[in-house]
Amino acid sequence: MCCLFALLLKADEASCLNSPADYMQSAVEEIMAILNNDQLKLPENSQQRRKLILTVVRHHFDFKEMSKLTLGKHWQDVADADKDHFVELFSRLIENSYINKIETYSDEKIIFLKESVRENKSLVPTIIKHNDLDIPISYKLYKAQDRWRIYDVIIEGVSLVQNYRSQFNDIIMKEKYAGLVKRIDEKVAKIPAEGQ
């Protein structure tokens, strides 16, 4: 619990940083510290490790903005109460996929390249050195109330938001919004509950 509190304090400090690259570097360091913690590597502590990673991810990602962007033009047709439900479902879907990938990392080197900033938006490119491979991952951020938030991740040139938007649009056109929610609901239902 003490460890979690310390991470939240560090996350709050990072959110106040002016440079989006500094902010991202701090966020990545938080996650790497969790992954490299010997105690948290023990099988009996896997759920605690996942909860700590989730805390960091939820602090830095704006899932509402990501949900809005992935639904695109369909967002305005969704009732407000249903929007909240969609954000919850979509965030669970992303978190599970993202954390599964994160947990496979082991001592990869992350290089931060020069950020670009235009008004309240920024792109922070990084390179993950994995064996002999260089994997480019860029983060799109926006600044609101003196705080940077992630709203898209581009992995090897593919935008997470655009990829989901294309898939979701196809499903909505064939099965309506209800069909999309049903599909995501089924996927999320297969994700183990936190703490299990």
- More confident of the two residues 65 and 109: 65
**Is residue 150 within 8 Å of residue 131, measured between CB atoms?**
no
pLDDT tens per residue across span 6-20:
444 454 554 445 689
Average of per-residue pLDDT across 84-110: 84
CA distance 65 to 49: 26
- More confident of the two residues 128 and 17: 128
* Top-tier CATH class for 2-189: alpha beta
Query: Which of 25-34, 37-46, 99-108, 138-147 comes out lowest in average pLDDT?
Result: 99-108
CA distance 171 to 175: 6
For residue 58 the two structure tokens come to 């939820």
Read off the pTM: 0.82
**Contacts for 135-144: CB closer than 8 Å, 24+ residues apart:** 139/20, 139/24, 141/20, 141/23, 141/24, 142/62, 142/65, 143/20, 144/120
Q: Which of 13-22, 131-140, 178-187 has the highest mean pLDDT?
A: 178-187
Q: What is the DSSP string of 131-187?
A: TTEEEEEEEEEEEETTEEEEEEEEETTEEHHHHHHHHHHHHHHHHHHHHHHHHHHHH
**Residue from 129, 82, 131, 135 nearest 110 by CA:** 129
Q: Is the pLDDT of residue 61 over 50?
A: yes
For residue 29 the two structure tokens come to 């360091």
For residue 88 the two structure tokens come to 């919850």
pLDDT tens per residue across span 104-123:
776 778 899 999 999 899 99
For residue 178 the two structure tokens come to 């209800």
Mean pLDDT taken over the chain:
85
pLDDT at 2: 39
CA distance 172 to 175: 5
**Is residue 183 within 8 Å of residue 171, measured between CB atoms?**
yes
Q: Is the pLDDT of residue 190 over 80?
A: yes
Q: Using 50, 70 and 90 to split pLDDT, how confident is the model at 5?
A: very low
* Adjacent-strand bridge partners of 139: 124, 153
**Residue from 29, 20, 13 nearest 138 by CA:** 20
CA distance 93 to 77: 22
Average of per-residue pLDDT across 125-143: 89
Domain parsing of the chain, residue ranges = 2-189
Q: What is the DSSP letter of 62?
A: -
